[in-house]
Structure 1
Amino acid sequence: MTVLRALKKMFGKSEAEQLAPSPIAPSPAAIGPTEGDQRPHNAKKSVPASTPVQDQHTHIESAKVEQPKAERPRRERAPKPPVIAWKPEDFVVEPQEGKTRFHDFNLSPELMHAIHDLGFPYCTPIQAEVLGFTLAGKDAIGRAQTGTGKTAAFLISIITQLEQTPPPKERYMGEPRALIIAPTRELVVQIAKDAASLTKYTGLNVMTFVGGMDFDKQLKQLEARHCDILVATPGRLLDFNQRGEVHLDMVEVMVLDEADRMLDMGFIPQVRQIIRQTPHKGERQTLLFSATFTEDVMNLAKQWTTDPAIVEIEAENVASEMVEQHIYAVAAADKYKLLYNLVTENNWERVMVFANRKDEVRRIEERLVRDGVNAAQLSGDVPQHKRIKTLEGFREGKIRVLVATDVAGRGIHIDGISHVINFTLPEVPDDYVHRIGRTGRAGASGVSISFAGEDDSYQLPSIEALLGRKISCETPPTELLKPVVRKSAQPL
């Protein structure tokens, strides 16, 4: 019997079994295992039994499966454009009297390639002077405002130094070779952006540490790769250093940007702690930049530098010739009406307004929003995540008017700002130059308008003395002083 059952399973049913009325029979596809592999009677089988109709369907489906599928024609990819290797001969700048070319310095092809991409044919005055000293290894102190090209000057110096000196074979991820300290988050981000553009062909890694951002996220980027150039605010850098995540004993070049502003903001004790962790000043190159050379700034420079070259760019060369400057004599009670009507009547789309105090900034922004103008504020009270969102909205044109303090406004580099309005004249003349430098950038024209009232007009003579010229004072047209009709701001 056992042999008969095996034969039946191997060759199918007998004629008698085919005529039997049993409704269910095993199909060829569901033939069970041989006797040695049979399961217990009540065990579930891996393939269920099927009806004869199902069996036919199974045969049809298997036939379909067995048929070779027609191959689809492969979509041919468009050929990639050939990569043309950049050559130094591609960057040609004719010598011009009174101007210094980057070709006049011994810069690497990788760095020259990046400079070519950025479209820098000639050095700015501070770049020409600073590079002459720093590329020779000297320390330097520079007096210059933002917008003069000082950032590129110290970055080119750093990159050249790091390219010429190979890194130690053994070093931790958190051991930067160059350190740049700046007072504000916005300035740090801008410096890092410029550094990324200049290092893109060199293989050097740029990292940023700023307060108000996720600490662990910044730590992860530090753990992922070696840090060559570190740009940081003093407080956050100290956090990393005190936790043992960053070691500063391999710093070859240190830059202190806007030293006067760091003094004003009370950062010098933190900066001193940081500098103590770096090599002795005789073993590192130190560059210090400041908008002013006060006695305090010069004392710091004496402590932290060795026989530095002193480079000064006069203020009259800083105030861009592309900026048209106006001053309106206006009563304090009429300043807001003048601001609102200037913006709305002229349909200005990207305006920056400066005020001296945080409470002034808040009140101006709140009134503009109440009166239907898409405005936002930027001050030290605004959380970092909101500051980033605000700057992006302003850059994208979603925010029409950005109201800021001097500290928050420093380091903002946004192209396309058509007008800068000084709602109150700055108490420090150098801040005037910083403010109007937010417009007239990248070769574009710009306009600055200052409101001079009874409370702040006394600042005007010192501003004019700094600029070396008079600015005509005008009376605003009557239609620009009309009352403001209240509206509701449209949602972004």
Structure 2
Amino acid sequence: MQFGFISRLLNKIRGDKTSTTSSDQPNAASNPATTDPKSSPKRPRRKPASNAQPKTSDTAAQTSEKTRPPRKKRTERKDKTTARSERDERPRRGRGGRSSAQERRRDDSDDGSRTPVANIKPRDNVPSMDGWTAPAGERRSPDEKLFQDLDLDPRLLRAIVDDLQFRICSPIQAAALPSLLAGRDLAGKAQTGTGKTAAFLIAILQRFLTQPQRDREPWQPMAVVLAPTRELALQIAKDADDLSAYCSFATVAVYGGMDYDRQRSLLAKGVDLVVATPGRLIDYLRQNAVDLSTVEAVVIDEADRMLDMGFIPDVKRIIGYLPKAEERQTMLFSATLSRDIMNLASRWMRSDPVIVEVEPEHVVADGIEEVVYSVTTHEKLPVLLWTLSHEKCERVLIFRNRRRDVEQLRDQLTRCGIACDMLSGDVDQKKRLRLLEDFRSGAIRVIVATDVAGRGIHVDDITHVINYDLPYEAEDYVHRIGRTARAGHTGRAISFACEEGAFVIPDIEKFIDRELVITQPDAEMVRMPEGMKIPTGRAPRSGGRPGGFSGRRRSDNRPRGGRVQRGGPRR
């Protein structure tokens, strides 16, 4: 029986103390192509050089309009010299267009209006604070720290306790906010989902609301946040928009893969906080679309991922555009404060930074119910379909290890009547943002994703995370199932341990410091629904083997060497 085989195999592997090394993550640094906005005026049509009447005879003056001179025949090609002169008269693009860019900024900022975060609905009017008083707060234990204890501006405090319903500070917030509000530089060790984003945004907004501001032009922000991915940049910008609901604070997110001209126009209209990926921000700095000389606070978020993805040279270049370390506040957050990270912090911060390290109480959140099914490769799809039809699946995130497998499963679920979509590196940014918004609103309830794409999904009410393929790295298992049971919710994490992926389970158990309970699905779960067969994948190329589960050779998906290779293929 398959269950007995998997159990015996796991018992043997758990006894094996052989350690393996993990390969480095692929370098994901990229620099988007740069083009200047097409906001310069069009060249006007040519007009007659003079309004003087031409010399004509009396008979010619009395000629009717119907007897106009014949129109000249249109030539197929313009004269090369004329075309070259017209091209020279057009407004220049690229690095030479500094003056024209500044003129456009002045024109855009004459009305004094400011546009909030890109892709987020603009705030027309700031709500009134009349009649609002801060609630007293409820301290359930002496160790809890309330936001009311921090002497925050009422406009900021109202957004925190009324709109976002934050009751107490998280451990990283309680440890970091006193120093951040005092203007100290800080290096913080905190995992994703611990509240570090709110910590540095509260510090930035409190500075904006309570301290005198430097004289700034519309395109000169007072704060900059650098993030390794566009999804994280968008999430930070959205959080900033929520926290600044009761003040005129303009946030703009700039990142690759979206309209270059639109993001540039938002910067020109006026910005207080820029949340950016390094590559796109460097593009705008080179084009003089943004000026960082008046920045008072800078945040480097997820510095460890910046290092892994090869963004540190870009970050160093951006730091060179900022005021000196003594003239700004620098905040750095990372999942680990390794020697390399601390060396970077020592270069970018003042001589006495505050070091805050918050260890997670639990690697896996308490609200997650973990289920591991022992199945064969062919039984995965029937068990998945049974789960989607018999459990209360409001929002489901399914993980596969490779892009081609993500697309294949999406197609198979669609053929089985399941409305779903996919997220992988092959999905362009506009479609990705639309899918995430549909997923957040409930228009799409099932998404199949890779690890890299899944890390950008920040939705609080995901009910199910399903590891259709167990990840290649134990840490990715925690990141995956951490997409559910967020913000106080509960959720289920279901994993399929088959003959091709069960080899990573001992590493996961070592990482989370406990054993996973592996169960065998009921007989009805492993049967395809009545009248439905396991659908095949795409039509094979000429000369190829048939697609789908039944026609795929097991060795195509089986790791080399008998054990799952560390790092796995490029996702």
Give your verdict on TM over 0.5.
Answer: yes
Name structure 1 gaps, 5 residues minimum: 1-81
The alpha-carbon deviation at position 371 of structure 1 amounts to 2.2
The alpha-carbon deviation at position 202 of structure 1 amounts to 3.0
State the alpha-carbon separation in 2 of the partners of residues 127 and 135 from structure 1. 11
The alpha-carbon deviation at position 100 of structure 1 amounts to 0.8
Indicate whether 1:148 and 2:173 are aligned.
no
Mapping of 1:308-457 within 5 angstroms?
A: 308-317=353-362, 319-346=364-391, 348-457=393-502
Higher mean C-alpha displacement, 97-106 vs 356-365: 356-365
Kept after mapping to 2: 8 A contact 1:256/1:287:
yes
Corresponding residue of 1:230: 274
Corresponding residue of 1:50: none
Letter in 2 for 1:453: C
- In structure 2, relative to structure 1, the CA distance for the partners of 1:426 and 1:256 (3 Å cut) is farther
- In structure 2, relative to structure 1, the CA distance for the partners of 1:115 and 1:428 (3 Å cut) is same
Kept after mapping to 2: 8 A contact 1:370/1:486:
no
Mapping of 1:189-338 within 5 angstroms?
A: 189-225=234-270, 227-306=271-350, 307-317=352-362, 319-338=364-383
Higher mean C-alpha displacement, 135-144 vs 193-202: 135-144
- In structure 2, relative to structure 1, the CA distance for the partners of 1:371 and 1:269 (3 Å cut) is farther
State the alpha-carbon separation in 2 of the partners of residues 247 and 84 from structure 1. 33
What do you get for the CA RMSD once the two structures are aligned? 2.5
Matched position secondary structure for 1:146: coil
- In structure 2, relative to structure 1, the CA distance for the partners of 1:261 and 1:364 (3 Å cut) is farther
* Percent identical: 47
The alpha-carbon deviation at position 282 of structure 1 amounts to 3.4
Kept after mapping to 2: 8 A contact 1:316/1:468:
no
Matched position secondary structure for 1:447: strand
The alpha-carbon deviation at position 421 of structure 1 amounts to 0.9
The alpha-carbon deviation at position 322 of structure 1 amounts to 1.2
- In structure 2, relative to structure 1, the CA distance for the partners of 1:194 and 1:303 (3 Å cut) is same
State the alpha-carbon separation in 1 of the partners of residues 467 and 485 from structure 2. 15
State the alpha-carbon separation in 1 of the partners of residues 477 and 534 from structure 2. 32
Larger Rg: 1
State the alpha-carbon separation in 2 of the partners of residues 333 and 308 from structure 1. 55
The alpha-carbon deviation at position 89 of structure 1 amounts to 4.1
Kept after mapping to 2: 8 A contact 1:182/1:188:
yes
- In structure 2, relative to structure 1, the CA distance for the partners of 1:467 and 1:293 (3 Å cut) is farther
The alpha-carbon deviation at position 279 of structure 1 amounts to 2.2
State the alpha-carbon separation in 2 of the partners of residues 92 and 199 from structure 1. 21
Kept after mapping to 1: 8 A contact 2:296/2:329:
yes
Kept after mapping to 1: 8 A contact 2:374/2:498:
yes
Corresponding residue of 1:137: 183
State the alpha-carbon separation in 2 of the partners of residues 208 and 92 from structure 1. 33
State the alpha-carbon separation in 2 of the partners of residues 262 and 86 from structure 1. 45
State the alpha-carbon separation in 2 of the partners of residues 201 and 194 from structure 1. 13
The alpha-carbon deviation at position 108 of structure 1 amounts to 1.4
State the alpha-carbon separation in 1 of the partners of residues 527 and 305 from structure 2. 39
State the alpha-carbon separation in 2 of the partners of residues 289 and 103 from structure 1. 24
The alpha-carbon deviation at position 382 of structure 1 amounts to 0.7
- In structure 2, relative to structure 1, the CA distance for the partners of 1:95 and 1:476 (3 Å cut) is closer
TM-score if structure 1 supplies the norm length?
0.76
State the alpha-carbon separation in 2 of the partners of residues 428 and 141 from structure 1. 27
Kept after mapping to 2: 8 A contact 1:439/1:447:
yes
The alpha-carbon deviation at position 311 of structure 1 amounts to 2.6
The alpha-carbon deviation at position 222 of structure 1 amounts to 1.7
Kept after mapping to 1: 8 A contact 2:372/2:516:
yes
Matched position secondary structure for 1:282: helix
Corresponding residue of 1:166: 212
Name structure 2 gaps, 5 residues minimum: 1-126, 536-571
TM-score if structure 2 supplies the norm length?
0.66
The alpha-carbon deviation at position 97 of structure 1 amounts to 1.5
Mapping of 1:84-99 within 5 angstroms?
A: 85-94=130-139, 96-99=141-144
The alpha-carbon deviation at position 347 of structure 1 amounts to 5.5
Kept after mapping to 1: 8 A contact 2:374/2:520:
yes
Matched pairs, number: 405
Kept after mapping to 1: 8 A contact 2:136/2:148:
no
Corresponding residue of 1:123: 169
Larger RCO: 1 or 2 (CA < 8 Å, sep 6+): 2
Matched position secondary structure for 1:424: coil
Letter in 2 for 1:277: Y
Pick from 139, 145, 154 the counterpart of residue 100 of structure 1: 145
The alpha-carbon deviation at position 295 of structure 1 amounts to 4.6
